[in-house]
A and B are shown apart, each in its own frame.
Chain A
Amino acid sequence: MNAATAERFFGYEHAFTHPVTRGIVIFLVSALVLTPMIFMGLRRTVQIAAATYAELWARWRSWIWISMALIVPILLGAAWVITGVFMLSLLCYREYARATGIFREKMISLSVVLGICLISFAVIDNYPRLFFATPVLGIGLIAIVTIPQDCPKGFIQRVALGVMGYLFFGFSFGYLGLMTSDPLYRPLILLLLLGVEMNDVFAYCSGRLFGGRKLLPGTSPGKTVSGAIGAVVLTTCMMVITGHFFMFPGTPMDRWPMLIILGTGISVFGQFGDLLLSSIKRDIGIKDLGHLLPGHGGLLDRFDSLVIITPLYYHFLSLVLGPLGNGQAERIISGGPLP
């Protein structure tokens, strides 16, 4: 392992060098400190039901845990991010599997877990070709493991459910780990998380403010058209400003069309990720996917927006800026081909 890789994996000393990292961490900490004051102020001025008040506090406590779990590994270094993403993939697959019933097919679950291990290995190894091959390898494994049971009834269902879980929660989330191959992974990941989470907040706020027609009442009864449009406008503004002034000055990304595509993309596909999980939940007929985060539901109810956007974000930036992580030492563990 060379010095640059060691720095990338474990170099927490330089966590705050980039202004975007600093800015987002300061923004988040102050938001978390200020919200309780807003709650108390609200309670003084307007009448809030005790239940709503308790719900707000539960959400706030969950947010503290979520932010810690997200920010601390990113600040500590790539090794921790990759571990965190690995755990996130496993826990999200578990919630999905218990909700859809695919957990009863233990061989399918086992191969999904092995696939997630392979994805994490490709990320640690910094072996992008292997990473981009993991969908095919994983799907092959998921498809063949139940053949020896000699029980073709339900084969399509179990393989399809397994593949879906693997691609969304293993491969898609794996991109968060893959982004750590770039030395600028801290601001890049934080920018994506900020965009996606603020997108949710914007949608909620503008939906409450303007109300009006429902977006897709069959899929998600709470969402309104005004919320969706408001989120697109506000998230795009936020991403354009952050991108232009702090994240991408002087790079090929620093052009209006590029920044606008990035902003709208994060907003639109973030919302599609949300609707995707809502569709799964409505199809099964459940409200939340889990109980891990009081006030939010399961882990997937919080991270649903990342499912579609993460790969798009990575590939869009790679397209415009050149491959992320280019020039870093590759195949750290597996080594290169023999000379």
Chain B
Amino acid sequence: MKDWSLAPARDRDLPGIERHRSLMRENGLASSVLRFVMWSLLRPALSLWHRPLITGREHLPKSRPFILVANHTSHLDGILLASLLPTSWRDHIFPIAASDTFFEKRPVAAFAARFLNALAIRRCGAHNHDLEELRRRLNQEKEVFIIFPEGTRSRTGEMLAFRSGIGRLVAKTNVPVVPCYLDGCFRAWPPGKHFSKPLSIGISIGPPMIFEDCSDDRAGWDSIAKCLKAAVENLAERQQASSLPGAADQLP
């Protein structure tokens, strides 16, 4: 028989919006049902509206935990990446979102927490214990994170430098990081617009990378960020090459 270990919800003592914002948030049946309804509607809608063209799907790990890392140009990015993963994982997929955008106002925070399952992190000066908590969720609870290491949506469509926070999560762990490149999201839904245009979107997924040997210090984190940016840029080049007119004929 299992040891009798009654553990109350870790966020039980937090009131209202604090609970949404907390990295210790634990969801129950209600949000699970909400999310089930949302994804049941959103998946077919996304595939009809944006007809995503996916390359490298075989690189997605079959078991948790892992991290998806991608370029960030629109609000579509997170949900498109999440829709690549099995429906039954809906309570285990956490987009990491900026707390100043998604967790300031109560209705937005409730939406981000309940529907998107987003976890709040501060853009600047995230505390060490926040990152500790994220590492704990990743390693012990075997979650999937969706992270945009640029730290913001690109306002021009050009990829920005990757920030080193991703390195602080995965250095010296065996958690695979899967680089992805999203093509066409900027045209479909640039920042400032209210709705997305029904344009086709290309998603390329690269092979998972593990940073077990990288040192857990500033230099190691920076090298991880650089390494991932190079991987995403590589995917971007290949995506653009294959989407040029006539490119399909030239490929071997």
A→B interface (CB under 8 Å): 94, 97-101, 103-104, 106, 109-110, 113, 153-154, 156-157, 283-284, 286, 291
CB proximity of A228 to chain B, nearest CB, Å: 27
Assess the B12–A106 pair: CB atoms within 8 A: no
The residues of B that contact A154 with a CB separation of less than 8 Å are: 2
Check B2 against A97 for contact (C-beta < 8 Å): no
Give me the 8 closest cross-chain CB pairs, A-B, nearest first.
A154-B2, A103-B28, A109-B29, A98-B9, A101-B7, A99-B8, A284-B6, A153-B2
Q: Which of B162-219 contact A (CB under 8 A)?
A: none
Binding site for A on B (CB under 8 A): 1-2, 4-9, 12-13, 15, 26, 28-30, 32, 91
B190 CB to nearest A CB, Å: 38
Inter-chain contacts of B30 with A (CB < 8 A): 94
Question: Closest CB of chain A to B12's CB: distance in Å?
Answer: 5
Which listed residue, A104, A109, A153, A284, touches B26 by the CB 8 Å rule?
A104
Q: Is the CB of A98 within 8 A of B28?
A: yes
- Which residues from chain B contact A110 at a C-beta distance below 8 Å? 29
Separation of A109 and B9 alpha carbons in the complex (Å): 14
What are 15 pairs between A and B in contact, CB < 8 Å? A94-B28, A94-B30, A99-B8, A99-B9, A100-B6, A101-B5, A103-B26, A104-B26, A106-B28, A109-B28, A109-B29, A110-B29, A156-B1, A286-B12, A291-B15
A16 to B48, CA, bound (A): 59
Q: Using Cβ atoms and an 8 Å threshold, which residues of chain A touch B13?
A: 291
Taking a contact as CB atoms under 8 Å apart, the answer to whether A99 and B12 are in contact is: yes
A43 to B225, CA, bound (A): 63
Please name 15 further chain A to chain B contacts, defined as beta carbons within 8 Å, in addition to the given A98-B8, A101-B8, A286-B12, sorted by A numbering: A94-B30, A98-B28, A99-B8, A100-B8, A101-B5, A101-B6, A101-B9, A103-B29, A104-B26, A106-B29, A106-B32, A109-B28, A154-B2, A283-B6, A291-B13
Q: Distance in Å from the Cβ of B44 to the closest Cβ of chain A?
A: 24
A157 to B2, CA, bound (A): 8
Which residue in chain A gives the minimum CB-CB distance to B8? A99
Q: How far is the CA of A100 from the CA of B91 in the complex (A)?
A: 20
Q: Which residues of B lie under 8 Å from residue A106 when comparing CB positions?
A: 28-29, 32, 91
Q: Which residues of B contact A291 (CB under 8 A)?
A: 13, 15
Q: Is the CB of B6 within 8 A of A97?
A: no
> Which residues on the A side are within 8 Å of B7 (C-beta)?
101
Which of the residues A94, A113, A286 comes within 8 Å of B8, measured between beta carbons? A286
B32 neighbours in A (Cβ, 8 Å): 106
> How many angstroms from the CA of A286 to the CA of B5 in the assembled complex?
14
The complex places the Cα of A98 from the Cα of B4 at a distance, in Å, of 16
CB distance from A166 to the nearest CB of B (A): 14
Q: Which residues of chain B have C-beta atoms less than 8 A from A283's C-beta?
A: 6
Query: Complex Cα distance A283/B9, Å?
Result: 15
